[in-house]
Amino acid sequence: MELAKFRQRGPFEWVMPATGRMRVPGVIYASRDLIEAMDEKVAEQVANVASLPGIVGASYAMPDAHWGYGFPIGGVAAFDADEGGVVSAGGVGFDISCGVRTLHTGLKLADVEAAKARLADVLYARIPAGIGSTGALRLSAAGLDAMLHGGARWAVKEGYGSEADLARIEESGCVAGADPSAVSDMAKKRQRDEMGTLGSGNHYLEVQVVEAVFDTAIAQAYGLAVGDVVVSIHCGSRGLGHQIGTDYLREMVIAAPAGIALPDRELACAPLKSKLGQRYLGAMRAGINCALANRQILTHLARAAFADVFPRVRLPLLYDVSHNTCKEEMHRVGEERRRLFVHRKGATRAFGPGHAELPREFREAGQPVLIGGSMGTASWILAGAAGTEERAFGSACHGAGRAMSRHEALRRWHGRNVVDELAARGILIRSPSFRGVAEEAPLAYKDVGAVVEAAEQAGLAVKVARLKPLVCVKG
């Protein structure tokens, strides 16, 4: 990326002054190496988002940012409904509420190494994964609507987990304001047989070991120590979320409001106070609840699989956080607190210490921020930093970010070779698709360590622990 258009405000903060149609500046948090490696399209999309009505503060991009649909992936923007603010389906993305949840196992590395191959096979047999994967759960029309209303709370009532899980999930497992009637019949049809499935792409269930701790006090608050084995689940709202995005992007393009001149039709949006905007928010919140319920069911399946191999293991939840959402939140802007609609697309909520919405046991440490790797690369657990609300409305990165397209990854690697190379490093991959493995090859992504370092140096989050993969069930 050409840096001439930016003013460097710090070693890890780059500001694009508001020019032309831009209503606010653009801000990218990254090291020089990371921002120089970004596609020029990222800067263009950051500027385009900055031109939308009612945007507050700045249009932000995280250190893992790359070109996306309308918004950059890794983009954050907040809008004020009382100032003509809008909601954009492209600013949430197609995989609504895709996110990560991490579970404790109570096991150490030596416990798992002796049974790793068997555990990999049992998890693969129990966890439906891949394109078009379906689960054992079949929802009726009424059951599906109940799930869209209730999220993980619905799943717990149906026997998939316990009340203790809900305290460790964003929104306590259920976002308010979901409107199943705003979700199309096609979206519901796509989801009816997909609950409790990983899907494809970069989704996975991974067994990991804590190989390094960087903040002992926060790690202790999170119940983590070197050598601990954890399980992380990365997935979202499956076909339902994708269809919601497709449906409403089409409708927003057709119903483009007068007076809003879009620099890119992929930024199709609707005023937050309009009927279309309200219907999209209701459908999107139903999508969030779908993803939370889906990860809750997958947690139940993972617990059953571990019980087959380690009968006394219970897998309590550490935390669950989403990274494709639009959330209604209170934030300080200047000297006042305002109710804003914060779009986080490929960005994770990262509330700092003392935030009232955090579970009591994390209030002093800050919110766990779960950063996914890609099979052979490390994952990370961070904590929301003090002051991050002023920097990016309480947001941080969500992963490494792609360094190349899936097409290019397929050209460079064969899935069978990737599986064999990782096995030689002690990482067992189980997947229904060698093509999918090749598309998600570790080197197809940026250096997640560099991304995490930039997030910490920019004051977005604090490094807590680095996790090494042991077993990965890949979609």
Tokens of 44: 């263009």
pLDDT in tens, 169-226: 999 999 999 999 999 999 999 999 999 999 888 899 999 999 999 999 999 999 999 9
Mean per-residue pLDDT, 358-365? 94
* Contact partners, residue 143, CB within 8 Å, separation at least 6: none
Given this model, what pLDDT does residue 404 score? Answer: 85
Sign of the Cα pseudo-torsion (129, 135, 141, 147, in order): negative
Query: What is the maximal distance between C-alpha atoms in the chain?
Result: 65
Q: How far apart are CA 86 and CA 385, in angstroms?
A: 28
Amino acid at residue number 329 = E
Q: How far apart are CA 260 and CA 89, in angstroms?
A: 16
- The 10 Å Cβ neighbour count of residue 232 is 23
Structural domains for the chain: 7-88+96-474 (3.90.1860.10)
Among residues 66, 331, 398, 414, which one is catalytic? 398
Percentage of residues in the chain with pLDDT exceeding 90?
Answer: 85
Q: Which residues pair with 76 in a beta bridge?
A: 60, 344
Mean per-residue pLDDT, 330-335? 91
Q: Is the pLDDT of residue 1 over 70?
A: yes
Q: How far apart are CA 438 and CA 412, in angstroms?
A: 8
DSSP assignments along 82-134, one per residue: GGT-EEEGGGT-SSTT-EEEEEEEEEEHHHHHTTHHHHHHHHHHHS--STT--
Q: How far apart are CA 95 and CA 195, in angstroms?
A: 14
Mean per-residue pLDDT, 449-460? 97
Q: How far apart are CA 225 and CA 318, in angstroms?
A: 13
pTM attached to this predicted model: 0.96
Tokens of 446: 């940026």
Given this model, what pLDDT does residue 335 score? Answer: 87
Concerning whether 398 is annotated as a catalytic residue, the answer is: yes
Q: How far apart are CA 215 and CA 382, in angstroms?
A: 9
Torsion of CA 108, 358, 389, 285, to 10 degrees: 100
Q: Is the pLDDT of residue 380 over 90?
A: yes
